[in-house]
A and B are shown apart, each in its own frame.
Chain A
Amino acid sequence: MTAYDAWDREYQENKQAYLEIFDEFMSQMNYENNEEWERNFAQRLGRNHCVSVASATDALHFALLAHGIGPGDEVLVTDFSWISSASCVDMVGATPVFCDIDLDTYQMSLDSVQRMYTNRVKAIVYVHLFGAITDTSALQAFCKERNILFVEDAAQALGSSLNGVHAGTIGDCSVFSFNSNKVIAGINGGGVVLTDDDDVAKRLKMIRRHGKDKTFDLLGYNIRM
């Protein structure tokens, strides 16, 4: 027995259904299905926009880019997570500031956030680690008072909620992962950014497609789920 053979067991159980989906896509090459999926996923969580990308790492990177976080800015991150929770900050040229966790929940500690805050801090990447959610109302109020962008890293938390408030609904931008080790796994991974801001959604869509609107207006990438 190995600890992580869920993927193979799931595949064997659902193989025919997956092959039918693959066949439908290859027969029609209908990329609009992806847009429809994005609309449905956003609606499921009550958000205005969902932008799909290749991974949650891309999603975190692009969320910071779309909000203009960059060199000279500091971003509060947890010291205990997968590397993407901090490396997304380095990717945009900003500087991560590492905060400690609460040992009983493994989530970022509000006390540590308060200790590490300076006026150079422009954003926080808050992770719902291992899928669990804690009460973030005090942390959200702290960020709102200081105009700190709240990026909700819900990569591991799809399906979790606290008192009816679902993961993916509390961030200025919220991120999910569909990597093969997650509760919902894409064939080759995947990720999404959720936002309620029309302009941010537009920038996210440009960034994932070469920075293109009518012309190439931003430095972009070629990323899709």
Chain B
Amino acid sequence: MKSMEQNQAKRQSIARQYNEAFTDLPVATPKVTNGLDNNYHKYVIRFEDKDTRKRVKNALNASIHYETPLSANTMYDNATMRSDACIASKTASNTVLSLPIHAWLTEDEVIYIIETIKHAI
């Protein structure tokens, strides 16, 4: 925990690089709000469609958080419960991708990630 603030500052620096690099691309980047000190546990971008997401995911060996809306998991198939229509949740599950972000990423890796996304879209 002694390195927590320093590591968070490094992730925030990487997030700023991502934000600037993706400005003109058809992707939704994390919302930047005045007064928000974001720990960037995840840096999640959203694509226009599932196919583009799949192409970038494979190119980067990146992960999806989360691929299935909670209410659509099979453990709830026979459950008696209420659920809103959850259209936005379905859209997010189909189009989000988590980019690598941690304090030990090198500058070369960040550039590689950015360039890979630019070429894959």
The interface of chain A, by Cβ under 8 A from chain B, is 1-6, 9-10, 13-14, 74, 77-83, 85-87, 90, 95-106, 109, 112, 115-116, 130-134, 156-164, 167, 182-184
Contact = CB atoms under 8 A, between A and B. Distances in A.
Contacts, number: 157
A3 B63 contact: yes
Interface stretch (B17-25, B38-46, B47-55): B38-46
Contacts of A3: 60-63, 98-100
B38 A132 contact: yes
Contacts of B63: 3-4
Contact of A9 (B70, B89, B104): B104
Interface of A: prevailing SS: loop
Contacts of B60: 3
A132 B102 CA distance: 15
B33 A162 contact: yes
A163 B35 contact: yes
Contacts of A2: 61
A109 B87 CA distance: 12
A160 B11 CA distance: 12
A11 to B, nearest CB: 10
A115 B61 contact: no
A183 B39 contact: yes
Contact of A101 (B4, B62, B81, B92): B92
A72 to B, nearest CB: 12
A106 B92 contact: yes
A101 B104 contact: no
Contacts of A87: 75
A64 to B, nearest CB: 16
Interface in B71-121: 71, 73, 75, 79-89, 91-93, 96, 98-100, 102-105, 109, 112
A79 B44 contact: no
Given A100-B88, A106-B96, A159-B4, 9 more contacts: A3-B63, A9-B102, A80-B92, A82-B66, A83-B73, A86-B71, A90-B75, A98-B81, A183-B41
